[in-house]
Structure 1
Amino acid sequence: MSYEVVLDGKYYLGDLAEEITLEDSLEEIAYRANIRLTVQPGLPAIAPGQEIRISGVPYGASGMAYLLHPALVWECESERSAGSGKHLNVTAYDRTLYLSKSEDERLMPDGQTAAERLASYASGWNIPLATLPDTKIKLKRSVKRSQSIFSMILEDLKETARKGGDLYRPRMTPSGLTLVKLGGNEVVWQLESLESVSQKRTLEGAVTQVKVLGSEGSETKLSPVLAIVKGEIDKYGTLQKVLQDCAIETPAQARKAAEPLLLGLQETMSVTALDINLIRAGDMVELDGQRLFVTSVRHQLGEPGHMQLELAREAKVRRDYCG
């Protein structure tokens, strides 16, 4: 196998790795690895909390590079059978998992950007930062009640998008935590060597009308309506979503926030193909002349490897991200 698994920076386990998969999704913050090891004499003790990394040759390049680093072992499960001996299944994540598993309460001042707030969160959890982009949009003062740090980050990124900013997601790199622009990858991979392609179209989750409410009302008074924005009602009927966000204060802001939420027929695609091990969730790829966003990816590393991708158009990704 042309991939290397290294434990604690000194134990090379690649020869014992039967299977390695890497999984990434827009719904999660951390990159996940599942590693199946053959247990043989000399295999070091492996326990949750230990440092681990996965390296490989990037698609189209030469020489090894980090694919998952820095990361830690999160879970170990051993199994033994009469026919195949003993195996150890290891689940590992990059260190942004701490931001998903940890909760806090914070008061965020007015005028900060999402990038500035990410730096604050990362500092509190001793997570190193890479260079952060300027997300530009100034965010409103926010009291973040008890919730995960990751949910706080998503709130900031959604407010950025609703106010007209770019779509971003956090991503851990060997240089540290950063924000990457969705669809901003320099190389847009053309999906070829396809094994299967399936397409799903549905009205489930469709929104054809958005009602934007102002500040919460009282026991005897409803919240004021800032705007009602209509979409493809004539075609699909009225499927209404209510949006209430304290950062929205004017009808103009309400209409601007509502428009990305309108989406009629929803289309997603599932693709299985030979592996391109550089593709991550949030990247843009090209399939049959269409440019689509990767919402999730599962790499089965090997020679040749395989990957399973979930794809969607930008309108759906933006709607899901801003909703």
Structure 2
Amino acid sequence: MSYKVIVGSNTDITPMVESISMRDALDQIAYQASVRLAVSTAKTLPDFTPGTPIRVSGVPFGKEEQLFPLLNPGVIWEAESTNSGTKRISLTLYDRMIYLEKSEDEYLFPKDQTATQRLQKYAKDWGITLGNPTDTKTKLAKAVYRSQTIFSMLFADLKETSKSGGAMYHPRMTSRGLELFELGSNTHVHELDRLIDVAQMRTLEGAVTKVKVLAAAESSNGKEVASKILTVEEKGTKELGTLQKVVSDDQVKTAKAAKKLAQSYLTGIQETFTVTAPDVNTIRAGDAVKLSGMKLLVTSVGHDLGNPGTMTLELATESSVKRRFYLD
């Protein structure tokens, strides 16, 4: 078998595996896997208690017998067993970033820190190993995070980074540790040419053709006054109609910054693709792929591992991804 599942330090349960599926998406922080096992009632089972370390490895698409860590380090989150003649165990696994998604706290961060520096603080407090964290460079404003998940804080940092002119980043747990991955920066961009099914959606839902950026609202002598307009930008109103968004951002102080922010919101017809294809097991959310010559970003991916397996990808353009995940 071109996949291997190890529980604890060295217990190989691969012979029991019936199926493995994995899911990754830009709106989730932890990589998720579902493993179904068929076991002999006479067989001594390893410890499947939730919280037990586990890892999943596989031979990358197009490679020879050289295992690559797909989910490592992982943790058993849920275990369910049934017995109707053959005992089966279903395991739900996550990488260790699940602890940032499920935990809440409060933080006060000073201005001029970067998302990378804040990631280092989150990881240290939760005992999560850091890999080679990319320096996001963009300095952020002061942040007061009241009781909320660590994931929501981290994603707020990454959204502010992008809105301030930086790149789009997504956290990833690798065998080296927790890292920030710049969307679309994967070295090898897979060409999706052996397709099983392709669906294309084009819609005006979520489109923006006009943006008005306002300065932070202020009052005069206790009276409410109209917000100051920093800029109004539009694109495609004649063809598509006026679909206006009003943006008020405390961090935008100048007309130049407001213009740049407004232009990033201007997206016309929204176009997404859903692709089913033979599995490329190393593709993750945030990776760039090519479809019919178009370079698109993976917003979500589901892998059904096998020989051969299949995958289902949700794809969108870079501007659409930024508008959907990093601006709103």
Which category of TM-score, normalised to the shorter sequence, fits these structures?
A: over 0.9
CA deviations on 1:86-113 (whole Å, 9 max, x unpaired) are: 2111100001111111112211111111
Deviation at 1:273, TM superposition (A): 0.7
Aligned to 2:247: 243
Amino acid at match of 1:57: V
CA distance in structure 2 between the partners assigned to 1:29 and 1:216 by the alignment: 34
Q: Which residue of 2 aligns with 1:31?
A: 31
CA distance in 1, matches of 2:225, 2:102: 38
1:300–1:236 CA distance, 2 compared to 1 (3 A): same
Map 1:251-290 → 2, pairs under 5 A: 251-290=255-294
Is 1:68 matched up with 2:71? yes
Cα-to-partner distance string for 1:99-150 (whole Å, 9 max, x where unaligned): 1111122111111111111111111111110111221211111212222111
| CA distance in 2: counterparts of 1:183 and 1:205, whole angstroms | 22
Residue by residue over 1:67-91, the C-alpha shift from the partner in whole angstroms, topping out at 9 and shown as x without a partner, is: 1000101111222335xx2211110
CA distance in 1, matches of 2:259, 2:217: 18
Instruction: Give 5+ residue unaligned stretches, structure 2.
Output: none
Contact 1:162 1:256 in 2 (8 A): no
TM-score (norm 1): 0.95
Equivalent positions of 1:158-237 (< 5 A) are 158-217=159-218, 220-237=224-241
Q: 1:145 to 1:244 in 2, by over 3 A?
A: farther
Corresponding pairs, count: 321
The answer to whether the aligner puts 1:44 opposite 2:46 as a matched pair is yes
Classify the secondary structure of the residue corresponding to 2:274: strand
Name the CA distance, whole Å, in 2 between partners of 1:88 and 1:223: 59
C-alpha distance in 2 between matches for 1:216 and 1:80: 63
Q: Equivalents in 2 of 1:207, 1:303: separation in Å?
A: 44
In the alignment, the residues of structure 1 paired with residue 57 and residue 217 of structure 2 have an alpha-carbon distance, to the nearest angstrom, of 51
Q: Partner of 2:319 in structure 1?
A: 315
State TM-score, norm by structure 2: 0.94
Identity in percent: 49
Q: Where do 5+ consecutive residues of structure 1 fail to align?
A: none
The one-letter code matched in structure 1 to 2:18 is E
Letter aligned with residue 211 of structure 2: V
